[in-house]
Chain A
């Protein structure tokens, strides 16, 4: 497919015409970002009945706009109240809050918004330019390679995101095992269905997602009370427009910082398991390391806000790359978007670039439009949004629990699925309490049926010989990467002062 300027222009026009869905998504995303504990993933899950009902373009526009602006919104409480709204904003606290204490709250907010918008814009354009190359991946990844890619993805999540590699692997394989429930794809014989007819088609993914992620999080969330001190709110209200212009000037001065830290975000976003938190801390670390004035970091230095914010928005473009190119989600947000696309009959993975390349470009164009609108609208409006009333968990938890339970109904319209979501909520809760990586479990569940499909295809090709999995150079290279990923935690633990150890630790603490 030729990507011409008129084609891109047409997509741009179509994306702009969805402003009526992008704008509410952006406003909601900013609010969600501001509210600690109310993650983008939870909101995307609550909105599933709507996004599944909408056509693909509108549904994706809503999800993309919400997801992108959440990263921006998370920086607002991080700067104003020393309380990151999202994990990706945890590094923003380091210099954002000291800027507030120095009376530069508005400058810090503008640095955060401008870096988020421009960082996201840059990485979106770069990803769009990379798409033709990504389309070529389909020529190299066949069933054998796909099996190894899935194993690699789960290993990487276990190695990077989980605190304990073995626990991460147990969670991922447990997820794959849950994904193997249902009738077999060849003869239609039920396997491990516990005699439940509703499980013959396999474990429905949306109730599993809702339970493992949203319900379990709600159960944990009730232990905290989100209350902001009165004087903090008063400080946030004291900002002036002159400070906004000053913030823009600072941001323009550090434009190169925005560019290269957003690229860190893009690369980290593509990797499974390594999300916005790790990207933001890595960007902060390298920004400080390469700075001529590293001693200023931590004292309210603007690049300490710009670096993590452009990086966490750079992640948004990267997150969708493995979903589109390989049909494998690298994190929870990618998993949710993958479910919505699959629900609409979109076959993800290498074939997508052959069968529906325009869909991939449409999604990235929507992201592009969202970041432009973010720069134009949210930048001046966001200081008012920081005055959003903080919702205590005694309201949040019942709302999340009841709404996501209803959302579990949307995929198959079975009341059984609502109960199943509650069951997975308990599994997710126990996993969280036992420090098992829930995202590895969830991605295992999602990849289970895909794993079986590709594995069976590979086995048929090899006439039942497992050695087929070691028969291609690309597959073998990926196996080597699997082994290297298994050693990553040991290297990380040996160098406790290393950047990866510090960032991962910070990620777990945030």
Chain B
């Protein structure tokens, strides 16, 4: 019993090598997909992809084989280390990713200025900014700068929403 408890408490000191596989797997998927879906094309259309894809597959397979060999020999583990652990930083990263995704999805409705303001407030709050003055001040100043520089002066086609509509009505812009 005691031994089991000690066993469970033992920290895995092997180097986590799982992260080493992420990029090679992505590369293999892309190269495999490219090669598989271009078999019917004329050689000019697939030549560059083949010249790049085949060595890429070979290098990835060699690297993954080398890494698996290290793990089998006990010099590493399949663990991902801190990448997928439930840590504060990872929760913050995931939160930022979700917030930025929501910002992009909602952009056609919120418009750039309001969307940017909201995503900044939410992101800064997520990272631990508590002062309302700082949250609103930084977000409003940034959103206003982006509006003036990119929408008003540069006339970029960034999505416009209620705030831009209101400003246009008040100042008669674009009338």
A402 touches B45 (CB 8 A): no
- A17 CB, min distance to chain B CBs, angstroms: 21
Q: Mark A183-207, 1 if CB is under 8 A from B, else 0.
A: 0101101011010000000000000
Q: How far is the CA of A187 from the CA of B43 in the complex (A)?
A: 11
Closest to B117 in A: A402
- B139 CB, min distance to chain A CBs, angstroms: 9
From B5-13, B149-157, B162-170, the one touching the partner chain is B149-157
B104 touches A405 (CB 8 A): yes
- A409 CB, min distance to chain B CBs, angstroms: 6
Which one of B19, B30, B43, B66 contacts A434 once the chains associate, using CB atoms below 8 Å? Answer: B19
Inter-chain residue pair count (beta carbon < 8 A): 179
* B71 contacts chain A at the CB level, 8 A cutoff: no
B19 touches A166 (CB 8 A): no
From A32-40, A111-119, A173-181, A382-390, the one touching the partner chain is A173-181
From A350-358, A392-400, A492-500, the one touching the partner chain is A392-400
Which one of B46, B60, B103, B154 contacts A402 once the chains associate, using CB atoms below 8 Å? Answer: B103
Knowing A50-B154, A173-B55, A395-B124 are in contact, say whether A451-B100 is a contact too (CB < 8 A): no
Q: How far is the CA of A342 from the CA of B67 in the complex (A)?
A: 40
Knowing A173-B27, A219-B96, A406-B158 are in contact, say whether A459-B89 is a contact too (CB < 8 A): no
* B79 contacts chain A at the CB level, 8 A cutoff: no
Knowing A177-B49, A191-B45, A418-B107 are in contact, say whether A433-B27 is a contact too (CB < 8 A): no
B-side contacts of A464, CB under 8 Å: 43
Knowing A49-B154, A170-B63 are in contact, say whether A187-B42 is a contact too (CB < 8 A): yes
A451 touches B93 (CB 8 A): no
Closest to A436 in B: B23
Main secondary structure of the interface of B (DSSP, over half): helix
A409 touches B56 (CB 8 A): no
B-side contacts of A176, CB under 8 Å: 52, 56
A180 touches B83 (CB 8 A): no
- What is the number of residues of chain B that contact chain A, defined by CB distance less than 8 Å? 66
A-side contacts of B43, CB under 8 Å: 464
Q: How far is the CA of A399 from the CA of B146 in the complex (A)?
A: 12
A-side contacts of B86, CB under 8 Å: none
A-side contacts of B142, CB under 8 Å: 399, 402-403
Q: How far is the CA of A17 from the CA of B116 in the complex (A)?
A: 35
Q: Mark A444-464, 1 if CB is under 8 A from B, else 0.
A: 000010011001100110001
A-side contacts of B31, CB under 8 Å: 177
A456 touches B116 (CB 8 A): no
Q: How far is the CA of A180 from the CA of B38 in the complex (A)?
A: 12
Q: How far is the CA of A424 from the CA of B37 in the complex (A)?
A: 23
Which one of A171, A410, A433, A434 contacts B156 once the chains associate, using CB atoms below 8 Å? Answer: A410
Q: How far is the CA of A125 from the CA of B131 in the complex (A)?
A: 50
- B69 CB, min distance to chain A CBs, angstroms: 14
* A410-B156, A434-B21 known, 5 other contacts, Cβ within 8 Å: A173-B27, A180-B52, A395-B124, A403-B146, A426-B97
Of the A-B pairs whose beta carbons lie under 8 Å apart in the complex, a sample of 15, sorted by A's number, is A49-B149, A166-B59, A166-B62, A166-B63, A170-B60, A180-B52, A184-B45, A222-B93, A397-B127, A398-B124, A402-B103, A409-B156, A430-B19, A430-B83, A455-B47
